[in-house]
Amino acid sequence: MKSKILLGVALAMSISMSAHAEKIAVLGVQQALMASAAAVEFRNSVKSEFAKEEKNLLDLEKQVKAARDKASKNKDLASPDELKKMKIQFQKVFSEYQRAAQALQQKRMQKEQEFIQEMKPRLDKVIRGLIEKEGYDVVLAKQATLFAKKELDITPRVVELLNKQ
């Protein structure tokens, strides 16, 4: 029994020593992508592209609030028929608001996916080049690490290289 334990400890030590990496880094891939100049430009273009729809959505939101306020203020003074009309008007405007908000969100998500698909080859090229140039043995996802020294984080370097392309 004692020899099995010693064998297990020796095996564990040899595995851990052979798995020892010389040069380790952490990288926030999503963070690097979204901090790039291309991402800033993308956000600005999306903002201007959807500005009209955003304004319409804000107008609908104001109409929803106005219809809600009107119904709540007049609920004691209005007849049952008037109250019913106000509730129907509120529901109509609210439904339109929800539909418009959902449509706008879908369009934005689609644009973001297109941007990510467009940027992925560039990002992969930058990361591979940096790994080869700097000779990293292991690059860990920043989100998966509990702690890493700031010096191990290559995210700013990846952003810098992305911006140079």
Q: What is the pLDDT of residues 78-129, one digit of tens each?
A: 788 888 888 888 899 999 999 999 999 999 999 999 999 999 999 999 999 9
Run of H or E including 152: none
User: pTM for this structure?
Assistant: 0.68
Q: Is 97 exposed, middle or buried (0-12, 13-18, 19+ CB in 10 A)?
A: buried
* Superfamily of the domain at 22-164: Skp domain (3.30.910.20)
pLDDT score of 57: 94
Give the domain ranges of the chain: 22-164
pLDDT score of 20: 64
Q: What is the chain's mean pLDDT, rounded?
A: 86
Q: What is the pLDDT of residues 5-34, one digit of tens each?
A: 433 443 444 444 445 668 999 999 999 999
CB atoms within 10 A of CB 29: 17
* Average pLDDT over every residue of 149-156: 95
